[in-house]
Amino acid sequence: MATEKKARRDALNESHVWQVYARRKFEEPLHEIGNVMADDVELAKVYARSIYDEFAWVEMVIVPRETIVHVIET
């Protein structure tokens, strides 16, 4: 029974992190405002919109963290 519950939990654990970027004015650059965890891109979009809704953004984008390539890393 406990194993079954754990299996259900594991099946629903999100493993992908998405970095969230947004800007309030077109003349501003996009800046990082946080991240969300979701395995489904559409859910990641829903989560980003509902969590980071403190401003009337003119643009918001999400980027899968694993696609980020480090140029300098100390």
Q: Please report, as ranges, the residues that interact with other proteins according to CB under 8 A.
A: 4, 7-8, 11-14, 36-40, 42-43, 45-47, 49-51, 53
Q: How far is the CB of 65 from other proteins (least distance, A)?
A: 14
User: Smaller CB distance to other proteins: residue 13 or 67?
Assistant: 13
Sheet holding 17-23, edge to edge: 31-37, 17-23, 59-64
Distance, CA of 33 to CA of 13 (rounded, Å): 23
Q: How far is the CB of 35 from other proteins (least distance, A)?
A: 10
DSSP state for residue 24 in the 8-state scheme: S
Q: Count of H helices and E strands in the chain?
A: 2, 3
Q: How far is the CB of 45 from other proteins (least distance, A)?
A: 6
User: Smaller CB distance to other proteins: residue 28 or 51?
Assistant: 51
